[in-house]
Amino acid sequence: MRNERWKICFRFARSLQQASRLLGFAVALLVCASLANAQNSQCSLKLAQLPDAPELFGFRLGMTTEQVKARVPQVQFGKTTDFGVLQTSVNPDFDPKIDKTSFVGVRTVSLDFLDDGLTSLWFGYDSSFRWKTVDEFVAGISRSLQLPKAWTPWKSKGQQLRCADFQMTVTFVAEGPSFRILDLNAQEILTARREADTN
C-alpha cells in the first residue's frame, strides 16, 4: 500500500514538472513574440524618405523662409534669436488675406526655423477636417506618409511616433486634431547651443 502511494505521488510530481515546463515554454514564446513585435514596430524612417502629403498643404521640414514665403506670400517673419531660431505662424481661418481654399480644414499653421531651415511644423485643424479623432488622424497620416504602425500613447489621449531623425505627435485641441512634426537633429543642435550659452 505504501509503495502504491509513493508511485502515485511520483507520477503526480512528474506531471507537475511537465506542466511547469510547458508553462515555461509558453511564457518564453510570449516574451519572444512581444520582443519581435517591438522590433518590427520601431520606426527607422528619416525625414528625407517622407513623401509629400496633402495634409501638410505644401509644407515640409527643411524649407527655407523664402520657400515658405512662396507658399504663403502673406506670412510675416520677425527677428531671429541669437540661437538662430525664428518662429512664425499663419492663420487661414482668421486672416482674410489668405486663400482659405488652399487650407481647407486648417485653423493655424505654426512654423519654427533654425538657421533658416524649417525644423518644426504644427497644424491646428478645425472641426470640418476629414479626420475627426486622434485615431482616425493617426491612421490617415500613416497612410499618406507611409509610416509604420509604431505609434505610442502620448500625454492625454494623444499619440506619438519617434523615428530616426524626426518625431510626430497627434492630439486633439478645441474642436479638431492637431499635428506636429519635429526635426530631432535640429532640436539637439538648439539644445546644445542653449546649454553652451549657460556655461
* Spatial separation of the C-alpha atoms in residues 92 and 72, rounded to whole Å: 10
Structural domain boundaries of the chain? 1-40, 47-198
- The contacts of residue 155 (CB under 8 Å, 6+ apart) are 171
Give the C-alpha separation, 105 to 102, whole Å.
9
Q: Is the pLDDT of residue 4 over 90?
A: no
**Rounded distance, CA 178 to CA 146, Å?**
19
Per-residue pLDDT tens digits for 139-173? 999 999 999 999 999 988 899 999 999 999 999 98
Write down the pTM of the prediction: 0.77
pLDDT given for residue 30 in this prediction:
42
3-state secondary structure labels for all residues of 132-181: CCHHHHHHHHHHHHCCCCCCEEECCCEEEEECCCEEEEEEEECCEEEEEE
- pLDDT, tens digit (0-9, with 9 covering 90-100), for 95-132: 999 999 999 999 999 999 999 999 999 999 999 999 99
Q: How many helices (H) and strands (E) does the chain have?
A: 4, 7
Beta bridge partners of 7: none
pLDDT at 71 > cutoff 90: yes
- Helix (H), strand (E) at residue 17: helix 2-40
pLDDT tens per residue across span 89-100: 999 988 999 999
Cell numbers found for residue 54? 496633402
What does the buried/exposed string (b/e) look like for 60-79 if buried means 16 or more CB atoms within 10 Å of the residue's CB? Answer: ebebebeebeeebeebeeee
Residue range 28-44, pLDDT digits in tens: 434 333 433 444 468 99
